[in-house]
Structure 1
Amino acid sequence: MFVVTLKFADNKARAGELIDGHKAWIQQGFDNGLFLMVGSLPPNQGGGILAHNATRADLEAFVQKDPFVAEQVVTAEILEITPARLDDRLEFLAA
């Protein structure tokens, strides 16, 4: 399981022109079964993603395809978490 943070960077002003591509990239993450949740990092810091069902290398490659990452609107950090204990509703993350 992974937590991806996308924090605004030097080219934050370009977000408006790249937002459609960023939204399409997010949708592709959900369509591919990679993303479980996407949300904002308040106050206006960027976004966060909960991802699973991929290797770290595959996730890193996918994150690089985000127009926000490619154009340095955000910087991405990927944290890998190996679940040690899960609520029953999240057992699918242990696989």
Structure 2
Amino acid sequence: MFIVTLTYIAPLERIDAYLPAHRAWLEEQYARGLMLMSGRKEPRDGGILIVHAADRAELDAALRDDPFGQAGLATYAITEFVPTMSVDALAAWCAQ
């Protein structure tokens, strides 16, 4: 499991111009079963992705297709973790 922190490195006007393409990319990741949760940070200086990827290579491959990254609008900080406890609704993603 991975937590990806996006940090915007461009003005919000440029971010907003790419937002529809970024959201379409997110929808593709949800359809693949890779993305579990996503949203913007407050204050609005980036976003957070919760990703269930088989490994870092799979995550990196997906991130290469993100329009924000392709356009040089955001950087990514990646934290890998092994969830061991959760609410019942998320238990399927916990390590056994």
Corresponding position of 2:57:
57
Corresponding position of 2:14:
14
- Map Cα deviations across residues 19-50 of structure 1 (whole Å, 9 max, x no partner): 22111111011111111111111001111011
Write the mapping of 1:61-76 to structure 2, written as runs, cut at 5 A.
61-76=61-76
TM-score for both structures, normalised by structure 2: 0.85
In structure 1, list runs of 5 or more residues that go unmatched.
none
**Distance change >3 Å, CA 17–CA 6, structure 1 → 2:** same
Mapped to 2, the partners of 1:16 and 1:87 lie a distance apart of: 34
Mapped to 2, the partners of 1:93 and 1:54 lie a distance apart of: 12
Q: In structure 2, the residue corresponding to 1:68 is in which secondary structure?
A: helix
Corresponding position of 1:35:
35
The amino acid that maps onto 2:24 is A
- Map Cα deviations across residues 25-80 of structure 1 (whole Å, 9 max, x no partner): 11011111111111111001111011114321111110121010111111011110
Corresponding position of 2:2:
2
In structure 2, list runs of 5 or more residues that go unmatched.
none
Q: In structure 2, the residue corresponding to 1:39 is in which secondary structure?
A: strand
Q: In structure 2, the residue corresponding to 1:86 is in which secondary structure?
A: coil
TM-score for both structures, normalised by structure 1: 0.86
Q: In structure 2, the residue corresponding to 1:54 is in which secondary structure?
A: coil
Aligned-residue offset at 1:16: 2.7
Q: Which moved more, 1:39-48 or 1:16-25?
A: 16-25
Structure 1 residue ranges, 4+ long, deviating more than 4 angstroms after superposition: none
